[in-house]
Structure 1
Amino acid sequence: MIISKPGKHGATKARVECAGLFDGRNRSIMKPAADTLLVPLINKRRCQVLSVSGKTAQVMDMEDFSTFDVNIPDDLKVPVEPGKEINYWKIGEKVLLRD
């Protein structure tokens, strides 16, 4: 985060640089330093892979035992095979498989 000095007619500005969770693109946000930003709530959990068909896997959450389908990303380093446990992130309604 970079904070600039206040100008003659303005307030102090803050520049926040971040990377997108879903697309990896770099983004830059400039706001007055007194403003607040919305921060995504990321729920990190574990799941067990039940079945794999193509680029989609059916997984079961290890805490509440709910099942759902999720897309398998190309850059996932861990092999997705039935019976394995892997991590996933739940961000709002979207789900991402992680290493």
Structure 2
Amino acid sequence: MATKVVEIKTLKVGKYIVLGGEASKITSLTTSSPGKHGAAKARLEAVGVFDHQKRSIVKPVNTKVDIPIIDKRVGQILSIQPTTIQLMDMENYETLDLPVPDEEDLKERLVEGGEVEYILAMGNMKIMRTKGSSR
């Protein structure tokens, strides 16, 4: 697992965090002011990048948490099957089999020979968007 350790107070909405062993995108982050006998607390809500589950935690703002190292790459679609898409990475020309994305509008824009952006995080891969002028 490629992760990095940071304090919760350095995180922002739209960044990524590891919650429950899954890479998740932060959707909301609120902090409370410190009380008379305690530290400030942060409430963080995130949605899993690969499994789309909502997760939340409440911790002191100086707690250390893991953030995933996300590698964004570009690939060309070689073939489209009902459940998988075969891609060729444009940097190292390696062929990969990725699952078909859940989003209907993204599914419709996928064409053989078109380029897509995909992410690689914690051993998982996912197509995020189409690139260039495909359909």
**TM-score tier after normalising by the smaller chain length:** 0.7 to 0.9
Higher strand share: 2
1:37 aligns with 2:65: yes
Alignment partner, residue 13 of structure 1: 41
Aligned to 2:93: 65
Tell me the CA shift for residue 38 of structure 1.
Answer: 1.1
Partners of 1:95 and 1:88 in 2: CA distance: 7
Shift in Å, 1:76: 4.9
The amino acid across from 1:43 in the alignment is D
Aligned residues: 99
In 2, Cα distance between the equivalents of 1:62 and 1:77?
24
Q: Which has the larger radius of gyration?
A: 1
The sequence identity of aligned pairs, in percent, is 39
Give the alignment's TM-score, normalised by structure 2: 0.65
Q: Which residue of 1 aligns with 2:20?
A: none
Aligned twin of 2:112: 82
Asked if 1:3 is matched to 2:28, the reply is no
**Aligned alpha-carbon RMSD (Å):** 1.7
Would you tell me which structure has more helix in proportion to its own residues?
A: 2
Length-normalised TM-score, structure 1: 0.85
Q: What residue in structure 2 maps to residue 92 of structure 1?
A: 122
CA offsets, 1:4-52, max 9 Å, x none?
2334543221111222212323322111111122112211111001112
* 2:83 alignment counterpart: 55
